[in-house]
Structure 1
């Protein structure tokens, strides 16, 4: 059994889709959700779906609590789903090439610290881009600079708002992120 930890900071819509995708799998389970804020809605989603949830604030995560929780749950693979805190070096080291993130643009465009959620969609529209999409990548010590695993595109339409663009990007996330996680897990020995 390969065990996944999902790290999230907000609503948890991607986390919920990933949990539902792997529910009933004989060889893969979402073993824990780790939330970085005690008010994150992902906590409620995890409880509703009967997945244990731990709240670890960024300072405690950086001080070693994150790695401790991952080890206690026997985690094989870490999935970031709207997790806004920096991943500490000890976790990066112990989970090298076993931590993935999804970003709501076609990296390397519109990435980096502070580029998340609606900020990204606003920047895409302000730049006059004709397409946007998602990037699934491995995590390293720099925001949005890890090796790219997968990208999917969608058009930016005339009259788009950040909200309408976000809807199309979310549809890509919900479709492809669980599939890519499954594919990557199949490559682990």
Structure 2
């Protein structure tokens, strides 16, 4: 598709200078994270206030924070006996999963659900909702 892409080794994420340089070089003005488990350096966060978003597979603030991702989240939701879960789309900040919430979409947690069952339902919400929210945010900037 001729989309430029860049690989950054883990060491570049320590202070973020090389990454921020590439973002600026290509006039990137909005950053969308998905399945991104590394902490974004403050240097980059501060360059993109309310211009960097992330998605999380639970209804934050529940089941968020460092180490809470993927199946770990779904296992914790089921173990806690929650009756609903969902997704949270939020701005990123210096703390894992604590940025201002943009939107949340809920789904039921059924008594017979396994983590895989819940993950399937959550993925459907993510695939449907995230592109729509991104488009709306970009339109509001224009």
In which range does the TM-score fall when normalised by the shorter chain?
over 0.9
Taking only aligned residues, the RMSD between alpha carbons, in angstroms, comes to 1.1
Unaligned runs of 5+ in 2: none
Hey, what does 2:18 align to over in structure 1?
Answer: 65
The alignment's TM-score, normalised by the length of structure 1, stands at 0.72
Give the count of matched residue pairs.
141
Q: Is residue 109 of structure 2 the alignment partner of residue 164 of structure 1?
A: no
Ranges of 4+ aligned residues in structure 1 off by more than 3 Å: none
Mapped to 2, the partners of 1:81 and 1:149 lie a distance apart of 15
Which of residues 52, 56, 68 in structure 1 aligns to 2:8?
56
The alignment's TM-score, normalised by the length of structure 2, stands at 0.95
Hey, what does 1:136 align to over in structure 2?
Answer: 89
Which of residues 23, 32, 46 in structure 2 aligns to 1:79?
32
Please report how far the alpha carbon of residue 186 of structure 1 lies from its aligned counterpart in structure 2 after TM superposition.
Answer: 1.4
For 2:6, what is the secondary structure of its paired residue? Answer: strand
> 1 or 2, which has the higher strand percentage?
1
Mapped to 2, the partners of 1:72 and 1:112 lie a distance apart of 31
Mapped to 1, the partners of 2:53 and 2:90 lie a distance apart of 6
Hey, what does 2:52 align to over in structure 1?
Answer: 99
Unaligned runs of 5+ in 1: 1-48
